[in-house]
Amino acid sequence: KVKAQLEEKEGKTFDVFTAVEFKTQVVAGTNYFIKVHVGNEEFIHLRVFKSLPHENEQLSLHSYQSSKTKHDELAYF
What are the mean pLDDT values of the chain's consecutive 10-residue runs (77 residues total)? 91 92 91 94 94 86 92 90
What's the predicted TM-score (pTM) here? 0.81
Q: What is the pLDDT of residues 60-73, one digit of tens each?
A: 999 999 999 999 99
Rounded to whole angstroms, the Cα distance separating 62 from 12 reads 18
Rounded to whole angstroms, the Cα distance separating 57 from 59 reads 7
